[in-house]
Amino acid sequence: MTTKQIDYCIELARTLNFSRAADNMFVSQPTFSYQIKLLEEEIGFSLFERSGKGASLTPAGSQFVTFLSGMREDLKRAIEQGQNFSANYRDSISISLMVRQAVCFLPEAMRLFAASHPDVQITPKFQYENGLDGFLRSETDLLFSLRERIRQIPGILTHDLFTSHIYLIAQRSDPLAEKNLIAEHDLYGRTLMVGGGSPAALKAVQHRLISTGKIGYFNSADHDTTLTNVAAGRGVCLAPGFLNDHSGQFAWIPFDCPEAFRASCVPTRTTTAPRSGLLSAFCRSCTATPWRSRCDESQRNGRTSKRKAVHG
């Protein structure tokens, strides 16, 4: 199967007309039809039903063309990235990002790293769900993750990024939004959104609050669904500060509890010594960026600062 045949197939699926598809691809109709026939013979099933009115996709053809379209787009992006890389860089670092807070600090780390390594390309991959699995398969060079998710992996080197505490998320009009610090008793009689893939430490806090019997709860599928429910006035929720998108839509108030989350940068173990040094250099750029003084909550003087611009 050639890329030309893939393009011909996608175009015919779009037009369902051999003559028009051939014109659009700047080839004669016999040449176009022959390439479609060769493709069908190679894969072993018919993609199109021919008729005097044109062509129509077979059920198998419809499924196959959907797959081809996605594959063609992936190939196009791969070629474009390769062209960019060959023109400007000698090496690259791919990063799996499992924490949203990376959006805040990663650009500054990239700028700092580029000052000493201008010929190294940084490629972020936002993989909130399966980033760890891909990293363990050596699909990425670095992993940004919560420490609790990687503590069972033996022999890894970790670079601490920031420590994030737990916050109450409420509507800005909620009376709780006026407080500097939320205590357990402030939530008595309220409804707490729980679940949604919460980290273990957060689940422990949720369970401790619910077990008092003084706080109602409502199961929520994920963080975005939880925020939707908060916006709809169905309750409040607790969340790690690193999930704060700083949009200002909600009030994020520090919650009084000892639990916290540590985020780390982890370089892959399956690499050469020179490349290992390159990855460590980028990790050092991350820990040296100015964002750390703003985002690392362990540096705050206490936890009672007003909600004005809470960073997690």
For residue 141, the domain's CATH number is 3.40.190.10
Q: What is the DSSP string of 92-161?
A: EEEEEE--TTHHHHHHHHHHHHHHH-TTEEEEEEE-TTTHHHHHHTTSSSEEEEEHHHHTTSTT---EEE
Cβ atoms within 10 Å, residue 23: 15
240-260 mean pLDDT: 90
Residue 82 and residue 104 in one domain:
no
pLDDT of residue 291: 57
Amino acid (one-letter) located at 113: F
pLDDT of residue 121: 87
pLDDT of residue 311: 39
pLDDT of residue 289: 72
**pLDDT band for position 137 (cuts 50, 70, 90):** confident
Residue 306 lies in a domain: no
Pairing of the two strands 260-267 and 159-171? antiparallel
Exposed (0-12), middle (13-18) or buried (19+): which is 155, by Cβ within 10 Å? exposed
Q: In this structure, are residues 244 and 167 in contact, taking their beta carbons and an 8 Å threshold?
A: yes
Residue 181 and residue 253 in one domain:
yes
The tally of domains found in the chain comes to 3
pLDDT of residue 262: 87
pLDDT of residue 32: 93
Residue 112 lies in a domain: yes
Q: In this structure, are residues 225 and 231 in contact, taking their beta carbons and an 8 Å threshold?
A: no
* Higher per-residue confidence, 195 vs 216: 216
- Phi-psi map region of 200: left, alpha, beta (phi>0 left; psi -120 to 50 alpha): alpha
Structure tokens belonging to residue 166: 């737990």
Encode pLDDT of 262-293 as tens digits. 888 888 877 777 788 899 899 888 888 765 54
Residue 255 and residue 230 in one domain:
yes
Residue 255 DSSP symbol: B
Buried b (16+ CB within 10 A) or exposed e, 279-306: beebbebbbebebbeebbbeeeeebeee
Q: In this structure, are residues 234 and 171 in contact, taking their beta carbons and an 8 Å threshold?
A: no
Residue 111 lies in a domain: yes
Residue 150 lies in a domain: yes
Pairing of the two strands 260-267 and 236-240? unpaired
**pLDDT surpassing 90 at residue 132:** no
Residue 134 and residue 282 in one domain:
yes
Of 241, 260, 279, which marks where a domain is finished? Answer: 260
Residue 133 lies in a domain: yes
CA distances from residue 80 to 74, 77, 127, 136 in whole angstroms, order as listed: 10, 5, 21, 27
> Cα 307 from chain centroid?
26
Residue 121 and residue 191 in one domain:
no
Domain holding 9, by residue range, is 3-86
**pLDDT surpassing 80 at residue 127:** no
Residue 52 and residue 181 in one domain:
no
pLDDT of residue 164: 86
**pLDDT band for position 103 (cuts 50, 70, 90):** low
Residue 298 lies in a domain: no
Of 43, 69, 86, which marks where a domain is finished? Answer: 86
Which among 169, 106, 171 is positioned nearest to 142, based on CA atoms?
106
Residue 39 and residue 72 in one domain:
yes
**pLDDT band for position 307 (cuts 50, 70, 90):** very low
Residue 300 lies in a domain: no
What 3-state class would DSSP assign to 299?
Answer: helix
Residue 139 and residue 275 in one domain:
yes
pLDDT of residue 133: 83
Q: In this structure, are residues 227 and 169 in contact, taking their beta carbons and an 8 Å threshold?
A: yes
Encode pLDDT of 20-69 as tens digits. 999 999 999 999 999 999 999 999 999 999 988 889 999 999 999 999 99
Phi then psi for residue 124, to 5 deg, are: -75, 145
pTM: 0.63
